[in-house]
Amino acid sequence: MQTVTLNNGVEMPILGFGVFQIAPEQTEQAVTEALAAGYRMIDTAAAYGNEEAVGRAIAASGIPRDELFVTTKLWVQDTGEENTARAFETSLGKLGLDHLDLYLIHQPYGDVHGCWRAMENLNREGRVRAIGVSNFYADRLVDLIDRNEITPAVNQIETHPFFQRADDQELMRERGVQIESWGGFAEGRNNLFTHPVLSAIADQHGRSVAQVVLRWLVQREVVAIPKSVRVERMKENLDVFDFELTDDQMAAVATLDTGSSLFFDHRDPDQVSRIGNLRIHG
């Protein structure tokens, strides 16, 4: 597995397995099958409601802990220094682990600076190997970096052929932050899996459109966490390291960028209010 080196020296797989929108009752089997297929990075979140199922699959796998890279995320309901420390312990307990590899602030709302102070402490104590953020646009990311000691290792943001985030990636590179994609397949929107540009490239390589998209992300050094509940798709998504897109093919994919989210804008007032007030526990 190809890896990226984070700003603190930690090695992170460039491809992992995401469990967003996998029901808790399906998650244990899906993660078990993903681990058997060869995935060693698992991405979950408190808000997904399936941390316990992820933990059961990890425990049953028998894979040594140091071969796994486990990420979870702090929900906005639990922002603030004390709340973050408690939420971390809750997630760690549900996962059945003694440390995390990556802990992310899930949304750029609430007392993110209080969160970050708590996460810096967890990082210093060795409870989490790397800390980062998710869904932070450039202004919020720079504000967090400039006002704290530890620079986020990762920013997990919507990144796919229709919203490519090249400028965001360049700023992150300058600041030492690794870009990670969520929604790499755009959840199939804009007919991604049958798009003529992507389909033509796939045909040229004898690959699927999904493999082309993942290869495009890998060649851009973007970490990706594709999700599937089908074993054959899990294996297919990992099989992207033995071919390479040409410069012309990379340029063709670049023409698909709309520059806008296909889901929601984290700077839209209505979305800020909706997400910022969404509670995941009592």
Tell me which residues are annotated as active site: 48
Question: Which secondary-structure segment (H or E) carries 240?
Answer: none
- For residue 239, give every residue at least 6 positions away whose Cβ sits within 8 Å of its Cβ, in sequence order, or none: 211
> How many Å apart are CA 280 and CA 78, to the nearest integer?
10
| Rounded Cα distance, 183 and 176, in Å | 23
Q: Are 45 and 72 in contact (CB under 8 A)?
A: yes
Picking from 101, 38, 37, the residue whose alpha carbon sits closest to that of residue 72 is 101
The reply to whether 106 sits in an annotated binding site is yes
- The owner of tokens 């009592």 is 282
Closest-CA residue to 164 (of 207, 217, 202): 217
CB of 120 closer than 8 Å to CB of 131? yes
Q: What radius of gyration, in Å, describes the C-alpha atoms of the chain? A: 18
For residue 8, the 8-state DSSP code is T
Annotated binding site for substrate: 106
Instruction: Return binding residues.
Output: 106
